[in-house]
Structure 1
């Protein structure tokens, strides 16, 4: 984003066209980093950008701040060593940075920002969607494609909901994952553990890990090997399912 456009957006004293141009540039800069959902980008744009301070001005401000603090320290030390009494106002006020300097009319000038109106933000988002720069389906497909190898459907659904996507769109992009949920969970388990659990405590730990990755309880029960013991020898699928049910009941965890 051009510095002049950002300054116009921060000051809020320019024309509507200038503010719209600055807001659009900011949105495109964000989209260049990664895909956003419409709701997620709207929340981002409604937060005004921080005012930028040029490097030279920032360095001069820091040097002036350090000089003021040193002068105040020398004055205070001289007063105490010379036996002088302190002024009635007490210690001299330590200099503060430019952001802490209050004006008579309110907040510091450097912290006054212009908050874009929701109408302006929605208008910019409409334009970005028409230009195909912004797309909820593309963002959802990208998130699922990049994370399906590591997480289950429940975890992916939570991430998509957190980004403000529609429930119907979430169901649509997650539907193809239903067929290979078990194979993906097994791949995650094998990469993380690779060895059957030697105790019930270890099996519970492995189950917890896969559940935290968003795989369902049924999938977890079928993926994590059961502990080999005389008590469990000869137990079939019912035994495995009962074992995982005991695990949930002991920790009061809901089945997914």
Structure 2
């Protein structure tokens, strides 16, 4: 039994060594290795008590990795999928929205670099930014060249 606990702990630490994971993510990934009910919860409680599992770090990690390429709505969706507290997700999204136009402009510039020549190209650019999770107002300002921040 002790080896299973070590195995669960080892698996959890291996996952955490790659990147930050939320408790819900670890539960989902490690549930199939649990041999006794409650065993996984104990392991995760221990890791949380030692601050190996920290939701604040998970939020910051996702924002750091994804904000240069994605809009607030896509990042919000990713944070929600990780099972994070709604309040933490809302605060992160509020912070992201403050820099949304600037980040969208960077993404647009890397991909296209010049204003659309016609309606077809304009639609393509707008769809690209929408697929990255940027909002409609932001997309319109960036594609129209509205530099009036």
TM-score, normalised relative to structure 2: 0.91
Query: Which residue is equivalent to 1:195?
Result: 114
- 23, 37, 43: which one aligns with 2:28: 43
For the residues of structure 2 that align with 1:116 and 1:224, how far apart are their CA atoms?
54
Larger radius of gyration: 1
Distance 2:137 2:124 in 1: 16
Q: Which has the higher contact order (CA 8 A, sep 6+)?
A: 2
Match of 2:70 in 1: 151
TM-aligned CA deviation for residue 118 of structure 1: 4.5
Distance 1:194 1:168 in 2: 36
Contact 1:46 1:117 (8 Å CA) reproduced? no
Going from structure 1 to structure 2, the CA distance change for 1:160 and 1:204 (only over 3 Å counts) comes to same
Could you tell me how far 1:116 is from its partner in structure 2?
2.9
Equivalent residue number for residue 251 of structure 1: none
- The CA deviation string for residues 108-159 of structure 1, in whole angstroms up to 9 with x for no partner, is xxxxxxx434411111101001111111111111111111111110000011
1:218 paired with 2:137, answer yes
Find 1:139's aligned residue among 10, 33, 58.
Answer: 58
The alignment partner of 1:26 has SS state of helix
> Does 2:112 match 1:127?
no
Q: Which residue of 2 aligns with 1:75?
A: none
Query: Deviation per CA, 1:27-84, whole angstroms, max 9, x where unpaired?
Result: 1111111111110011111123xxxxxxxxxxxxxxxxxxxxxxxxxxxxxxxxxxxx
Cα distance between partner residues in 2 of 1:143 and 1:29: 18
1:167 Cα deviation from its structure 2 partner: 1.1
Matched, 1:173 2:92: yes
Unaligned stretches of 5+ in structure 2?
Answer: none
Q: TM-score, normalization: structure 1?
A: 0.54
Pairwise mapping of residues 52-91 of structure 1 onto structure 2 (< 5 A)?
Answer: none
In structure 2, the CA distance between the partners of 1:157 and 1:117, relative to structure 1 (3 Å rule), is: farther
Q: Structure 1: how far apart are the matches of 2:57 and 2:84? A: 11
Which runs of 5 or more structure 1 residues have no equivalent in the other structure?
1-14, 49-114, 227-256
Q: Secondary structure at the match of 1:178?
A: helix
- Could you tell me how far apart the structure 2 residues matched to 1:117 and 1:191 are? 51
Number of residue pairs matched by the alignment = 146
Q: Structure 1 runs of 4+ off > 4 angstroms? A: none
Partner of 2:3: 18
Contact conserved, 1:42 with 1:121, CA < 8 A, in 2? yes
Checking the alignment, whether the CA contact within 8 Å between 1:46 and 1:118 is kept in structure 2 is: no
